[in-house]
Homo-oligomer: A and B are copies of this chain.
Amino acid sequence: MQSPLPQRLKSARKLAKLTQEKLSNKLGFDDRSHGTARISQYETGKHAPDFAMAKKMADALGVPVAYLYCDEEKLADLILAASKLDENQLTMIIESISDL
């Protein structure tokens, strides 16, 4: 099983209109190369970030960290959609699923 993180990370970054360098800066990696090399390695699947790094990148990109690890497309879509809801709305959705 291949990790979905590389593709999801790359597409989320593109959607946020960030270069690897800009994302690198948002993450606190100051000068060039320090961050972009790592981000590239993550996006190409050459290496995997640990959870703390995945969380930081997800926050910087405005997606739930679980989204980066989701290997089912429809479920990934749901996670993204749900991330824009507040707690009450989420509760209502969960209840409506129980009623199916």
Q: A1-B51, A48-B50, A82-B75 are in contact. Are A96 and B93 (CB under 8 A)?
A: yes
> Which residues does chain B contribute within 8 Å of A87, judged by CB atoms?
74
Pick from B51, B54, B76, B98: contact of A81, CB under 8 Å: B98
For A5, A48, A79, A96, the residue with the greatest tally of chain B CB atoms inside 10 Å of its CB is A79
Number of A residues near B (Cβ < 8 Å) is 40
B81 touches A75 (CB 8 A): no
Chain B residue numbers with a CB within 8 Å of A5 are 51
With A55-B1, A69-B69, A93-B96 already in contact, the answer to whether A78 and B82 are too (CB < 8 A) is yes
What chain B residues lie within 8 Å of A74 (beta carbons)? 87, 90-91, 94
